[in-house]
Every structure is written in structure tokens, then in C-alpha cells.
Amino acid sequence: MQISCSILSSDNRPNSVLKLNNTNVDYLHIDVMDGKFVKNNQFPIEEIKKMLSLSTKKADIHLMVENPSSYIKELAHQNIAYITIHRELDTDLYPIIEEIKKLNYKVGLSIKPDTSVVSLIPYLKDIDLILIMSVEPGYGKQIFLPRTINKLNELNRLRLKYPHLIVEVDGGINNTNIKKLIKAKVDISVVGSFITNNEDYNQVINKLKTIK
Ligand code: DX5
Ligand code: ZN
């Protein structure tokens, strides 16, 4: 299981990024919110760039915004692995998917807890990663929704036809519920407060990465 650490709930984000550089974490997860797609408003483009400049880890950018293009066009030539947008956006997603691909980043598509796995089907052949939200997006430190596991099982049936897909889960993940995610063949877990609430990040990360 790979771990992508969300620094959303850290009270000193630059310091958290620097600390993560010295751990075995796989990705730096940056939660971008515009106050419209979700109520919260976090990580303006200047702060995203600041975090990217401090990080030696590849970034995993989660855009919870109504207008992803306005962020994507500012993010060329960065140390980014994935840029993920939301399926719920009321617009044609293909031009946005193409924009991300043109920058040579992998494309993720995310669904909120009430959005069906079936709604992803038209896009599966053209994207790299599916991000299943296990909490309502907007805030860290929430409780993992158990119905996420049903969605993962459903998604695994579709993955038989689309074996290239990487599956990531985000929200409320800890050392107990991660076992269910391993069983459900999740590739990347986004873990926020369960890591950043501790002094020793690497100890928590190493434990999470060795759970079977
Ligand atoms: C929620 C965010 C998550 C979240 C993870 O909108 O997308 O990345 O902050 O943090 P924890 O692990 O604290 O739920
Ligand atoms: Zn996130």
C-alpha cells in the first residue's frame, strides 16, 4: 500500500512538507478547495506552489474546485505525479483531462460518497486513477464511511476490464480501517490527520506501510 499524506489539517504546513521529505511517504497530497465546489477554501495557487517548491516528494493534487483549468494552467513543470478532478463537475470533463495530459501528469477522477461508481464508466479508458472519497470532501479529521468498501468491490469488478487503473481512497483512514482497504486492493491511501497529529511522521508512515 502506498501512502499519500494530506497536510490539510497540519497547523504548520511548510514544516509538515519539510518533515515529509525525510520520511518514506510516497506522495504529498494537496487538497485544493475554492469555497464553491466545497464550502471550505484552502490552498490558493501561491500556497500550492510554495508547498511544491519545498517538497522533494512527488505531489498528488486533489482539486475540489469548480474551475480546475484555472489551477491546472498554473501548474506546468512541477514535481507532480497526479492531478485529480471531480466527476460531479457540471461541465465536459474531456478538455480538462486533455489539459492535464498535456502537462505530462497522470489524470485522476474522484467521486464523492453519494456519487455512483457507474458514473465513472465513460471515462475509465482515458484516465489513470480513481479517487474514491471515504468522507464528504471539504474537511480533514472526519470519520471513514464504511459504505466505501462496497464501492471498492464494485470498482474491482470494472478493473478486470481496465487493469491499468490505480485506485486511491481519501478520508478518515487510520491503522485499523486501512486493513479493509488492503483487502479491497486499493493502491494508494490518502492519510492526513492520522499522520500529522503525531510528532514522529515516519514512525506512523512505516507502520501503515507494513500492515498486511
Ligand atoms: C477531505 C480531503 C482529505 C482529508 C484527509 O476533503 O480531501 O484529503 O483532508 O484527511 P484525514 O485523513 O484527516 O481525513
Ligand atoms: Zn484529498
Q: What is the CATH number of domain 2-210?
A: 3.20.20.70
Q: Which 8-state DSSP code applies to residue 68?
A: H
Residue 144 CA, closest ligand 1 atom number:
14
Domain ranges of the chain: 2-210
126 annotated active-site: no
For residue range 63-106, list pLDDT tens digits in order: 999 999 999 999 999 999 999 999 999 999 999 999 999 999 99
Distance CA 145, CA 136 (A): 9
Q: Is the CB of 168 under 6 A from ligand 1?
A: no
Q: Low-confidence residues of the chain, pLDDT below 70?
A: none
Q: How many CB atoms lie within 10 A of CB 125?
A: 10
Q: Is the dihedral of CA 193, 194, 197, 202 positive or negative?
A: negative
34 annotated active-site: no
Residue 177 grid coordinates: 480501517
Mutation to probe ligand 1, out of 10, 111, 134, 190 (largest number of atoms < 8 A from CB): 190
Phi, psi of 119 (to 5 degrees): -65, -15
Kindly give the distance from the C-alpha atom of residue 32 to the centroid of ligand 1, in angstroms, as a whole number: 11
pTM exceeds 0.95 for this model: yes
